Amino acid sequence: MIKIGIIIGSTRPGRIGEAVADWVLAHSKKRSDAQFEIIDLKKFNLPLLDEPVPASMGHYSQPHTKSWAQKVAALDAFVFVTPEYNHAPPAALKNALDFIYAEWNNKAAGFVSYGSAYGARAVEQLRLIMGELQVADVRAQVLLSLYTDFENYSIFKPKPNHEAELTAMLDQLVAWGEAMKSVRSKVAPR
Ligand SMILES: Cc1cc2nc3c(=O)[nH]c(=O)nc-3n(C[C@H](O)[C@H](O)[C@H](O)COP(=O)(O)O)c2cc1C
């Protein structure tokens, strides 16, 4: 069975991303086709990128890089739970993506985004980044509105229709995550 990490893209105090990730995890318990776990960037406490060599060269020098790489290497696919900061993904998420390289390659990703414009612009930027990281990102997406899915912009109360959207996204993600396993057996990371 493939392993899917639900990555919380926000690290700030009072973040609403944690409740969204918890909702994804609770929903995933209804499935038996993949194992899911929450990956909290806050717990990895990565500094701003402090590796002397670009990650694609594969020489990780810092203990925090190695432990982050080890966690990502153990996963087959990712759900990025992301807010939108200034029409982009949070710097903490971009930083975590930049830290490592081969561990992302030839895996699959899906997105659950939120914001006043549903976090759509942040995800469009993430899709560009996924291309460079050689991550296959699925089309189906969960788009949450700060106005209608959060009470007072803070308490997560998703509209019921998002359950079906999440199922659709996870269906694609599990299928692609399984397919990318076979790709990894044929293609060396580069
Ligand atoms: C630095 C910053 C920039 C933001 N920029 C946007 C934005 O461009 N679009 C948007 O919809 N919301 C924006 N917001 C509002 C966030 O959607 C809202 O604060 C949300 O709660 C952030 O997610 P989090 O609580 O998980 O960190 C911004 C928030 C912050 C902190």
In tens, the pLDDT along 131-186 reads 999 999 999 999 999 999 999 999 999 999 999 999 999 999 999 999 999 999 99
* 8 A C-beta contact, residue 173 and residue 4: yes
CA pseudo-torsion sign 81, 83, 87, 91 = negative
Pocket probe mutation, ligand 1, options 20, 85, 151, 157, max atoms within 8 Å of Cβ:
85
What are the helix and strand counts (H, E) for the chain? 6, 7
Give pLDDT tens digits for 55-101. Answer: 999 999 999 999 999 999 999 999 999 999 999 999 999 999 999 99
Residues 28/110, Cβ–Cβ less than 8 Å: no
pLDDT bucket at 188, cuts 50 / 70 / 90:
confident
Report the separation in Å between the CA atom of 174 and the middle of ligand 1, taken as the mean of its atom positions.
Answer: 29
CA dist 93 and 105 (Å) reads 17
Please indicate whether residue 17, judged by its CB atom, sits closer than 6 Å to ligand 1: yes
Q: What is the pLDDT of residue 187?
A: 86
With a cut of 70, say whether residue 23 has pLDDT above it. yes
Q: Does ligand 1 come within 6 angstroms of the Cβ of 118? A: no
Other residues' Cβ atoms within 10 Å of the Cβ of residue 189? 13
Q: In angstroms, rounded to a whole number, what is the distance separating the alpha carbons of residues 15 and 156? A: 11
Asked if the model's pLDDT at residue 111 lies above 80, the reply is: yes
Model pLDDT, residue 190: 65
- The finding on whether 76 has its CB within 6 A of some atom of ligand 1 is no
